[in-house]
């Protein structure tokens, strides 16, 4: 089946704030709701990406024992998303607490203010160390309600939801130009650990929310710009696996990028030169053995820390991250729900700690292929350090 380009505009998917973070799918965001634990815990999934490198973005909604809901990491509150959430509210009570768990992820920050306006009685809780770029503006200037916004205290028992949740604040870690910080929540009743970016699991097949519109998957399943965008068996999986390599390595070792003049010349032979198909532009040349890179990244779905975080962020203060990791691992969780890629992930504390073994010097050597695929990240890291934009890794605390 060959897909012909057709733009579908549905007011139910409308997200008017997309210019604040102008990434795909821009002003049209579809939402998938998943009930993980009946009458207790739900996931709301959308997608986001650049140049059709789309991955899930997710918020978690938890029913409070005292009635009402806690929302962790809001997503775009489209009419569809609000309707799906309202169905839960009608049964279990309104939103009482909204959690902004990161200080660095702008895609997680922007949805919070519209979400808070929709629920004027909800309290907004933010991770300590907030900052913004290029101007470091106060949270109220970003639209968060001043009378209802509070910084999460170090002691979770000092919050109204402290009897149901524990949490651990990572950071803020100094990155020179900015900071990294994330708060993970442990819901005791469901034994669920809610995280934002710090860990993930890569699935071999594309998540269902990404398949709501398969065009990005099929766009990246091609080998040449002249190939038709077709929905044939195996193509969605092929496109997804390449997307994962793009998203987590930027440019793995099995990918060559074509210079722009050559790419524009090749685009002249493309079957589809519409704006949706980027005018036929496809500046990628995948090696025959590219799937070996994916399998090295996939690790049979094992819990892992994204290569970007390993090489550019968490190694700046290994001692602080290890201390935080050890605290989290002590909680009796049975599943982890990240904001991206696979969720839920059935793991426990030991597996959580294993994901951070790269912070121990004896384990710092990654598999050969993974080191090759991380070459671009290593080059970025070296350039940032050379220009004194970010501090070097703190090797003394490994």
DSSP state of 152: P
Weakest-pLDDT range from 92-96, 300-304, 315-319, 375-379: 375-379
Q: Which residue has the higher pLDDT, 63 or 106?
A: 63
Q: What is the mean pLDDT of residues 335-346?
A: 97
Burial class (CB in 10 A: 0-12, 13-18, 19+), 122: buried
| Helix orientation angle between 235-249 and 290-298, rounded to the nearest 10 degrees | 70
Higher local confidence (pLDDT), 388 or 224: 224
Confidence of residue 370 (pLDDT cuts 50, 70, 90): low
Q: What residues have CB less than 8 Å from 120, skipping those under 6 apart?
A: 145, 148
Question: What's the DSSP call for residue 126?
Answer: E
Q: Kindly report, residue by residue over 245-286, the tens digit of the pLDDT.
A: 999 998 888 888 888 888 888 888 888 889 999 999 999 999
Q: Please state which of the ranges 265-274, 309-318, 347-356, 373-382 shows the lowest mean pLDDT.
A: 373-382
In this prediction, residue 385 carries a pLDDT of 75
Instruction: With a cut of 80, say whether residue 373 has pLDDT above it.
Output: no
Can you give the pLDDT at residue 137? 73
**Domain membership of residue 212 as a residue range:** 1-398
Number of domains in the chain: 1
Tell me the C-alpha distance between 109 and 138, whole Å: 13
7 pLDDT more than 60: no
How large a percentage of the chain has pLDDT more than 70? 93
- Residue 166's domain is classified under what CATH number? 3.60.15.10
* pLDDT tens-digit map of 66-88: 999 999 999 999 999 999 999 99
pLDDT at position 366 is: 47
Confidence of residue 398 (pLDDT cuts 50, 70, 90): low
Q: Residue range 42-56: average pLDDT?
A: 97
Which residues lie closer than 8 Å to 261 by C-beta, 6 or more apart? none
Region 89-93 average pLDDT? 97
Q: Is pLDDT larger for residue 370 or for residue 28?
A: 28
Residues with Cβ within 8 Å of 164's Cβ and at least 6 positions away in sequence, in order, are 64, 65, 187, 188, 189
How far apart (Å, rounded) are the C-alpha atoms in residues 160 and 123?
Answer: 10
The shares of helix, strand and coil residues in the chain, as percent rounded to the nearest 5, are: 35, 20, 45
Backbone angles phi, psi at 102, to 5 degrees: -130, 155
Listed in sequence order, the residues at least 6 apart from 122 whose beta carbon sits closer than 8 Å to its beta carbon are: 71, 94, 95, 96, 97, 98, 116, 148
Please report which confidence band the pLDDT of residue 5 belongs to, taking 50, 70 and 90 as the band edges.
very low
Count other C-beta atoms under 10 Å from residue 233's C-beta.
Answer: 6
Whole-number average pLDDT of the chain: 90
Q: 3-state DSSP call for residue 163?
A: coil
Q: Which of 90-99, 193-202, 211-220, 388-397 has the lowest mean pLDDT?
A: 388-397
Indicate the range of 98-102, 185-189, 297-301 predicted with least confidence. Answer: 297-301
């Amino acid at each position: 089946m060959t897909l012909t380009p057709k733009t579908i505009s549905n007011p139910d998917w409308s997200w008017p704030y997309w210019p604040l973070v102008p990434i795909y799918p821009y002003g049209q965001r579809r939402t998938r709701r998943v009930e993980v634990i009946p009458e207790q815990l739900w996931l709301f999934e959308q997608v986001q990406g650049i140049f059709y490198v789309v991955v899930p973005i997710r918020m978690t909604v938890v029913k409070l024992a005292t009635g009402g809901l806690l929302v962790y990491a809001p997503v775009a509150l489209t009419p569809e998303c609000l309707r799906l959430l309202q169905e839960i509210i009608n049964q279990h009570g309104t939103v009482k607490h909204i959690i902004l768990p990161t200080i660095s992820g702008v895609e997680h920050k922007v949805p919070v203010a519209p979400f808070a306006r929709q629920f004027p009685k909800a309290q907004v809780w933010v991770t300590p160390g907030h900052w913004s770029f290029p101007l470091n503006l106060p949270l109220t200037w970003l639209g968060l309600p001043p009378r209802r916004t509070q910084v999460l205290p170090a002691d979770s028992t000092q919050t109204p939801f402290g009897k149901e949740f524990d949490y651990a604040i990572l950071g803020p870690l100094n990155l020179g130009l900015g900071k990294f910080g994330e708060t993970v929540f442990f819901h005791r009743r469901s034994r669920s650990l809610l995280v934002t970016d710090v860990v993930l699991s890569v699935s071999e097949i594309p998540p269902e929310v990404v398949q709501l519109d398969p065009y990005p998957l099929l766009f990246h399943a091609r080998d040449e710009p002249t190939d038709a965008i077709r929905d044939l068996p195996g193509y969605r999986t092929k496109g997804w696996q390449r997307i994962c390599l793009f998203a987590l390595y930027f440019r793995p070792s099995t990918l060559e990028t074509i210079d722009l003049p050559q790419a524009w010349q090749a685009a002249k032979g493309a079957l589809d030169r519409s704006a949706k198909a980027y005018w036929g532009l496809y500046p990628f040349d995948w090696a025959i053995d590219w799937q070996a890179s994916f399998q090295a990244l996939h690790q049979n779905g094992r819990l892992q820390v994204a290569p970007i975080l390993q090489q550019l962020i968490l190694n700046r203060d290994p001692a602080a991250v290890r201390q935080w990791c050890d605290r989290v691992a002590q909680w009796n969780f049975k599943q982890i729900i990240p904001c991206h890629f696979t969720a839920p992930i059935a793991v426990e504390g030991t597996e959580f700690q294993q994901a951070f073994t790269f912070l121990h010097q004896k384990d710092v050597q990654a598999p050969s292929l993974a080191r090759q695929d991380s070459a671009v990240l290593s080059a970025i890291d070296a350039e940032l350090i050379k220009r004194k934009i970010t501090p070097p890794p703190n090797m003394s605390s490994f």
